Amino acid sequence: MRDNVLDDEESQALSSRGLVNSFLHDGVQVPDLKRSKLALKVKDLPAIIGKLLLVLMAVLLLSMISIGIAFYSLNQDSLISKTILRPQTDGRSYKGIRLSNGLKAMMISDPESEVGGAAMFVSVGSYDDPTFLPGMTHLLEHSLMLGSSKYQDPKEFINIVKLNSGVYNAFTKEEGTNFNFLVNHKSLEATLDVFSRSFIDPLLSDAVIEGEKYFIDYEFMNNLPKTEWRINYLLQMMANPAHPFARFGLGNLRSLKLIPEKHGLNVTRLARRFFNHHYKADLMTLVVVGRQPIEMLEDWVKNKFTLIPSGGNQAKAPTVSYTHLRAHETPEHLVCRLLLEKKK
């Protein structure tokens, strides 16, 4: 007859099947120690499950974030390129990238093109002008291409464009500024190098800034009699004074020279601080077109424009305000008012 006493191995095996209690040991029911311990922890089961779920959710969330970051880092160039829409008949090659400093760029390779060029859009416009210095963004647009630390001759960029049968233009809008040029395709790389330095280390010398104030005033006086400008000034006069549209964005000799000098303001220094504060790669979008292969254009863009500073330690603009520079009190609006009254 088999002894009722179970050895350790048998007890553990039967305990796992819940059968130990069917055997008697010296007339006493054999206790299921594992079940007893489990019974003591039943009341803690909801809390344990809740903690496990929280840990699982945290692990899944961190995994998703890590995968997302890795996917973005590895595929951001292809993602930008996939968003470029073009007709099926377009035989040119396109590629979009984002540089390490945050600048967005698109390269267009056109093997049949006789010219090459580039356009840089900076998301800084007249709405960003300091309230005490109307026309600052416009003044910076005029001065930016007139010399850099690498190419110190103020005429360097204009000369290379002209010598290569090219054209250059720039304009300031309310929410952005555009700089663009076209040249013979053979001189594209050299022109790009001079062009890029204007966004990296422009000279913005006293002589350049002072001279461009007069060019802007000439532009202002030339536009003043034009109907479309009169209409724009009238709309500004009617606009909410708290909105930047109501401000005078073009600038003239009064707003950029006479009033600042009266109050002891150094416009050259303020222009440099404005550039350092606003002209960051994160706010720039570049397009380059040429007959060179797309890979070569990409190398040029990366080598020349990655040096543009990214957002970071930005100089703070001075906090000064002059009530007499409100939009409806600037001279061009007064002229517009007089013209309207004269017609009445």
Q: Residue 279 in contact with residue 158, Cβ under 8 Å?
A: no
* DSSP-based three-state secondary structure for 104: strand
Query: Which token pair is 281?
Result: 């790669």
| Strand order, beta sheet including 284-290 | 93-98, 104-109, 284-290, 115-122, 177-184, 167-172
Separation CA 155–CA 146 (nearest Å) = 6
DSSP 323: G
Q: At what angle are helices 294-305 and 188-200 packed, to 10 degrees?
A: 30
Residues in the chain: 344
Q: Which of 114, 141, 298, 332 is catalytic?
A: 141
329 is catalytic: no
Separation CA 33–CA 30 (nearest Å) = 9
Q: Residue 256 in contact with residue 325, Cβ under 8 Å?
A: no
Separation CA 254–CA 323 (nearest Å) = 15
* Dihedral (Cα; 217, 222, 227, 233), 10-degree rounding: 0
Residue 274 corresponds to which amino acid?
F
* DSSP-based three-state secondary structure for 170: strand
Query: 115-122 and 177-184: which strand pairing?
Result: antiparallel
As annotated, the active-site residues are 141
